[in-house]
Each structure stands twice: as structure tokens, then as C-alpha cells.
A and B are shown apart, each in its own frame.
Chain A
Amino acid sequence: MAVAEAQHTLARPLDVPAVAKELGATGLVIFALAFGLVGFETLDVPGGIGINTRFGDVVGAVAVGVLGRLALILLREHRPKPVLFAGAPLALVVLVLLLSITLFGPETGEALKAFLPFKSPVVMWGILVVAVILVIRAGYAVTHMSSGLSPDEREAKMDRLSARVQRAAKLLGPLLLGFALVFPFLPFADRQLLDIGILVLTYIMLGWGLNIVVGLAGLLDLGYVAFYAVGAYSFALLATYQGMSFWVCLPFAGLMAATAGVLLGFPVLRLRGDYLAIVTLGFGEMIRVILLNWYSFTKGPDGISGIPRPSFFGIAEFTRSVDEGTTFADLFGLTYSPTQRIIFLFYLILALAMVVNVFTMRIRKLPVSRAWEALREDETACRALGINPRNTKLTAFGIGAMFAGFAGSFFATRQGFISPESFTFIESAVILAIVVLGGFGSQIGVVVAAILLIGLPEFFRELQQYRMLAFGMAMVLIMLWRPAGLLAHREPTIRLFGAKGKAGAGS
């Protein structure tokens, strides 16, 4: 067969000295990287810091790195068989070891850990995942007689997959919405699950809001959390100082955030992409520093507590008894339960998120959104066509900020307490990661990414400390693998000669 022949000609004899040199260089670099920071641990001792050595981990890191590089070289040189036949059993042994560590008690676990290069099970699981991916690649290469896909083929394949997901979203979207609607009444939905659901929905809303700015208009905003903070503080301050209710404050909080967005955007939106990113980041930090230090107004690091909970549209309260008016339980003839408020909050954020979603879907059909997308693709051409870049960008920036303001006031009313701690740069980075992972501009992608990034770590609490590490790594890997975003697929918004054409006919 032609493929087999091609395979035969591709598999040149292995240049052993060159491979050895490459492996040696890899080992040396990893050793140098690990020696300082992994090899020595600074410890807190009375009166200063002490030091502890961890040379075992350095050796482990070098060994794992060299083995991984060897596997990659073998795959590159069209020799997948050794990778498959050596890698698969090795991965299996590690898997069995790891499983037995988690299954058997701590004593057996400690004894078994001696067989692993790293003491931390999470690190080992991470290495195992990479090893399994390499083995799968090798297996694919052996069965398909080829050394994997070329980048172009892979890109085309991922694009087809993304297109399929986006088409499925037409069906999947209503299904997910339906699930969310009945979710609070499902038998397994306890308080904890509802809280996680509320959290995930908050991030979905923020992701969709940022998607307008980053995905549609192509403006990289690293200070999105600033508008979230403006919304939260607007509501919290109005509610605690003026005693205004959530429903009165909600539009006002959105307005304040949008104003902040326009005020910031006006001078800086003519900057080029990466400068804009840094300026928005600086602005986000500025807002936080001001909130932290303007003690007489924002109570600084103490935060604002006692923020009122939302009422049932101003008709009834979610408390056991009230001084005046009615309680929610009385209004509907139910017995009082604290879960009623949680369920109400869940529906509230669901409704807010859906407002953002519907808004985005509808505005994509309006000229202003077409102008955003055109600006994202080519600003110079847009200028030539008579689009005012600054005003057009300003609308996107303002609208995105407004939705962040809504989400912020929801956050404040749900928590009952806010402080500048909640609005750090990391928060912006997380929201951005959700948009990036989902594929810029893809609505369903944001949902998937928010569930993966926010929902999953909530279940695996012990992963919490590794969460941000994995975040950073995921952002890098996804950009390296698909710079357009994981589930990115751009259907042209409009076509010449109607929409029939060859829409979605692959490639």
C-alpha cells in the first residue's frame, strides 16, 4: 500500500548520537530549572527561615522529562511501537499504584509512594495524563501507519468538531436550559449543589459578558473584574447607606458599571490590542486599590457586610417572619425553608445570564455587532469604510461592563458581604480563561468552559491549590494547540447570495 511504503521511507535509521545529545540537553535544562526551586525548600523556622532539600524530586523531574522527550523523539522519527509497548505498561503500573494509594489507607499509601518519583499524588496524576496522551498518539500511529496528523489536518479536524458542537448547540442549548430550569427540584440537588450551580452560572454570565468585548469586538480586557466590582459596590453602598432594595439598585449598578466602562474606554480604546490589555489591567488594579484605601466610603479591607438579600420582586421576603409585609412562604402557602431563597437566587442568576445570552444572539444580527466583528478582523479597512472605530468599540466596552455590573450586584446580594479581596486580577484572568477556552465568540463554549473550570474544582477540594497552576497551563497549552480557542469555529455572520451556500459543508 502507498501508506505503508511512505511509512517505510519515512523511518530513517535513528541517529543515535543526535538523539543522545537532545536527551542530554533536555535533562540538563530540566535539572537547571528544578535544582534551585524544586531542590531546596525554604521553611519557616523561629527567627527567620531555614532550608530543606528535596533532591529526590529533582531526580524525578529529570527522569520524567527525559523519558517524555524520548517518547516525543521516537514519535517524530516514526517509531511509535516502542512508545506504545513500553509506555502502556508503565502508565498502567503508575495508574494501579496511584489507585491503590487512594483506595488503601494512609499507611499502605505511604509505603507505596516510595515507588513513585514524586510524593504528591496530584503531580503524579498530571504526569499520568500526559503519558496516556503520548501512548494514545503512539497507538494511533501504529494502527493508522502514520505519525499522527499534520497541524493543518488537525486544525481542520478540530474546526469540523467545533462546527458540529456549534450546530449541536442549537439543540443542546435548549436542553441545557431545560435542565437548569428543573435542576433545583431534582432529588439530588441539595444546598451544596445549588450553591455550585449559582457560582457556575455567575461565571457563565461574566463569561458571556466578556465574550462581547473579547470575542465579538476583539478587545482584550484584562480588567473586567473592575466593572464587576463597580456593580457590586454600587449596590452594596446604595443598599447600606440609602436602604434601597436590590430591584431598584440592579439597573443602577449596571448603569454605573457601564459609565465606568465608557469613561475608561474613551481615552484608551484607540490603543492597539496589547497596550489596551495592559491599561485595562492597570485600571482593574486601580479600582481595587481605591476600594481598599478609601476607608471612609468603602470601609477598605473590612469590606461591606449586612448587604440586604433580594426580596421576591418586592412583594415578599424570604425570611421566617417579617415585621411588615408578607413572607414568601405565606404568600404561596408553603412551609418556610431556607432553601427557598437559594432556589430563588438560582433562578435569578439563570434569568440574568439568559438575558445576556439572548441579548448577544440578537445583537449579532444588528449593524453594530457586524461593525464589532469587522473591527476585530481589520481596523484599517473599517476606517476606510467609514466606521468610527472608537465609538463602535466604546459600545462593546460599555455593554460588556454593564453586564459585569449586573453580575456584580447579584454577587453582592448573594454573599451579603463584599471586600476588595473578591476583585483581584486573578478573577479577571479566570473569566478570560473561560472565554479563551471556550473559543472566542462561542456561547456554548463559555458554558462548557465554566462548568469545567469552576464546577469541577468545587467538587475536588484537594485540587484547589493546584487549580490556578492548571489554569495557567491550560491557557498556554490551548493557545499553543489552537490559537483561536478550543471550540472556535467561525461561521461567517452573513454571506453573499443568501445563507444557503455551502454552510457547514466541512473544512
Chain B
Amino acid sequence: MQNTFAYFLDQLINGLALGSIYGLIAIGYTMVYGIIGMINFAHGEIFMIGAFVSIITFLLLGIAGITWIPLALLIVLIVAMLLTSIYGWALERVAYRPLRGSPRLAALITAIGMSIFLQNYVQLLQSARNKPMQPVISGGVEVLREGSYVVSLSFMQMIIIVLTFVLMIIFSSMIARTALGRSQRACEQDRNMAALIGINVDRTISLTFVMGAALASVAGMMFLMYYGVIDFFIGFLAGIKAFTAAVLGGIGSLPGAMLGGLLIGLIEAFWSGYFTVEYKDVAAFSILVLVLIFRPSGLLGRPDIEKV
């Protein structure tokens, strides 16, 4: 079974869907790191909050009787992006902005504190149990049949991959073409100079967090629909893996984050498919260590030269 092409294709599809989710989270890490040079450790919790806002919205829509799936998806998408991005904004405003200019480790410890806080905040408010949800979208198309083994691409996987692709294009063009994107790139190069030429640095950084949180909330929503169950702890592992993805792709680089996410997703899927499911997390962490040792600037990143 494991030697057939069909099996390989199955893992490839699974890996791409999973990788898209990691990629969307990784973009948040990479943008924040690019602009203020800190690891936003609480970003995984933002993803988790996005998933929780989504499940609540789905339940409310079910009560309200909105059953036409495209409309329901659109509403959930908008509500989740909106409410979660406010969490991203508040996180930066309350916990990170006052520490700008402090030592790096102070900001990282604050981020860890925020991560613990948000995890327990959700746990206290929504209880520690698993939250299962009925699948919203079922069915798929058959891609390949080999004997009795059928490889199918589910509609959910299609939505994940297409939506990620579309969001990537929208956000890349935002950064490449709009005034906000220009300010972001300017702040990334030199915050003081950017302030001197009239860019509102605080606002730009806030919006960066908002953008990252919005993408993470989409990832949270897709995670919820793909796996059908969430709990308050999902942000921790997903966050670490997305961070690994960002480092693998070259932290600070947007296409790098996406590429890294896809690679991590594929590695995880193939590892589970061909070796052991239990050690898939170990595989992801080992890659992080290996990348940091042999190519600290990542696949698409620029080498970081430290000046005295």
C-alpha cells in the first residue's frame, strides 16, 4: 500500500492543505519579525482565538437559521477576521508597544506571558473540553483510483488551498502596491528614518499586527472546519510549527513564510504517512534546529549582518 503512487498523492494533498494553514499563521510571525524584530510568541493564541470566534459564529448562524453555506462561510470569515484582528491590535497596544526599545528578551518574555494569559483566558471562558463541530462542507472529487484505494480531493481541502492562495495574492499586492505596504517596508528598513519622513510608525506597526491576526483567524477557521474539533491548547503546537515554517522560509520574507508553511505541512504529512504518526512533531522541531544551524537566514531570507 505504502509504495503506490495513489498513497503518495494522498499524502501530498493532505500536506498541501495542512501546509496552507501553517503558511497563513507563519505570515503573521514573519511580518511582525520583519517590522519590529520580535518573535510574537502569542501569535499561536491569536490563531486559537480565531478558531473559537469561528465556532461561536457558526453556532449562532445555525440558531439564526442561515444554512446557505457560501453565505454562512462569508459571514464567519468576516466576523472572525474582524474580532480576532482586534485581539491582535490590543495585544500589540497593551503588551508590546510600551516595551519598544527595551531589550529583546523583555519583549519575548512579555509575549510568553501574553500567550499563557490568552490560553487560560479562553480556557476559563469556554472550558477546557474539546469543542467538536459537525462538518460544514462534505464531499469531494475523486482524483485517482488504484484498485480499491481511492484518492479524493475533498471540497474542504480545495477551499483551504484556494482561499490561502487568494489571500496570499491580496496581501502580497497590498504590501507591494498600497501606501500602507510602502510604510511597512519603510519601517522594516529603518524605523527612525521612516518616522522622519512622516510615516506614522505606531500606526503602521499596529496595522501589521491587525493583518497578521486576520490571516491567523482565517487559518483558525479553516483548522476548525478541516479537523472538526478545537480546544484552547491548539495555538501552542500550531504556533511553534508556524514559527518553524517562518524560520525555514527565511524570517521577514512573505513568500518564504508561505513556502516554509507548505514544506512543513508536506514534511509532516509524509512523515506520518511513511514513518510514524507519533514522532511528526519531533520531525518538525528537528527541522527547526537543523535550519537554524545550517542556514539561519532560511531558504528565501537575506542573511542578517550584525553591526556593532
Contacts and interface: CB of A to CB of B under 8 A. Distances in A.
Contacts of B288: 278-279, 282
B78 to A, nearest CB: 13
B129 A44 contact: yes
Interface string B49-63: 100110111011001
B168 interface: no
Nearest to A435: B109
A40 B56 contact: yes
A432 interface: yes
Contact of A33 (B90, B104, B293): B90
B308 interface: yes
Interface stretch (A5-13, A195-203, A269-277): A269-277
A471 interface: yes
Interface stretch (A104-112, A142-150, A285-293, A353-361): A285-293
A37 B56 CA distance: 8
Given A268-B289, A480-B110, A274 B116 contact: no
Contact of B86 (A29, A473, A479): A29
A42 interface: yes
A289 B126 contact: no
Interface core residue of B49, B107, B113, B115 (most chain A CB under 10 Å): B113
A426 B116 contact: yes
Contacts of A504: none
B221 to A, nearest CB: 13
B106 A42 contact: no
Contact of A472 (B116, B127, B240): B116
A33 B112 contact: no
Contacts of A347: none
Given A51-B56, A474-B113, A480-B95, A468 B120 contact: yes
A49 B133 contact: yes
B105 interface: yes
A38 interface: yes
Interface core residue of B63, B114, B117 (most chain A CB under 10 Å): B117
Interface in B263-301: 276, 278-279, 281-282, 285-286, 288-289, 292-293, 296
- B interface SS class: helix
A247 interface: no
A380 interface: yes
Interface string B93-105: 0110011001111
Contacts of A475: 109-110, 112-113, 116
Contacts of B119: 468, 472
A426 B232 CA distance: 14
Interface string A22-39: 000000010011011110
Given A40-B56, A475-B109, A468 B286 contact: no
A41 B126 contact: yes
Nearest to A471: B116
A472 B114 CA distance: 6
B55 to A, nearest CB: 7
Contacts, number: 174
In this complex, the interface size class of chain B, counting residues with CB under 8 Å from chain A, is 35 or more
Contacts of B129: 44
Given A29-B90, A285-B240, A479 B113 contact: yes
A282 B117 contact: no
Interface string A281-324: 11101100110110000000000000000000000000000000
B60 A51 contact: yes
Interface string A460-495: 000001101101111110011001000000000000
A417 interface: no
Contacts of B282: 286, 289-290
A425 B236 contact: yes
Contact of A483 (B99, B114, B118): B99
A282 B113 contact: no
A274 B38 contact: yes
Contacts of B117: 469, 471-473, 476
A436 interface: yes
B39 A278 contact: yes
A480 B99 CA distance: 6
A31 to B, nearest CB: 10
A220 B108 CA distance: 9
In this complex, the interface size class of chain A, counting residues with CB under 8 Å from chain B, is 35 or more
Given A278-B288, A466-B124, A475-B109, 19 more contacts: A32-B86, A35-B83, A36-B83, A37-B52, A40-B56, A41-B126, A42-B59, A44-B127, A51-B63, A274-B108, A380-B306, A436-B109, A468-B116, A469-B116, A471-B117, A472-B114, A479-B106, A480-B98, A483-B103
B112 A429 contact: yes
Given A36-B53, A475-B112, A279 B292 contact: yes
A38 B53 CA distance: 11
Contacts of B127: 41-42, 44
Interface core residue of B38, B79, B278 (most chain A CB under 10 Å): B278
A48 interface: yes
Nearest to A277: B108
B278 A293 contact: yes
Interface in A38-77: 38, 40-42, 44, 48-51
A482 B266 CA distance: 43
Closest 3 pairs between A and B when the two form their complex, measured CB to CB: A475-B113, A472-B117, A472-B116
B125 interface: yes
B140 interface: no
A35 to B, nearest CB: 7
Given A41-B126, A273-B105, A268 B292 contact: yes
Given A274-B39, A425-B236, A483-B103, A51 B110 contact: no
Nearest to A426: B116
Interface core residue of A51, A278, A292 (most chain B CB under 10 Å): A278
A432 B86 contact: no
Contact of A36 (B52, B63, B124, B293): B52
Interface core residue of B102, B110, B293 (most chain A CB under 10 Å): B110
A108 to B, nearest CB: 26
A368 B247 CA distance: 33
B236 A473 contact: no
Given A29-B90, A49-B131, A380 B308 contact: yes
A433 B247 CA distance: 26
A425 B132 CA distance: 25
19 contacts: A33-B90, A40-B56, A40-B59, A41-B127, A42-B126, A48-B133, A49-B131, A268-B293, A273-B105, A274-B105, A282-B240, A283-B285, A285-B281, A380-B308, A425-B236, A475-B112, A476-B94, A476-B113, A483-B102
B122 interface: yes
Interface string A218-261: 10101000000000000000000000000000000000000000
Contacts of A498: none
Contacts of B279: 289-290, 293
A162 B129 CA distance: 43
Given A32-B83, A48-B132, A480-B99, A469 B59 contact: no
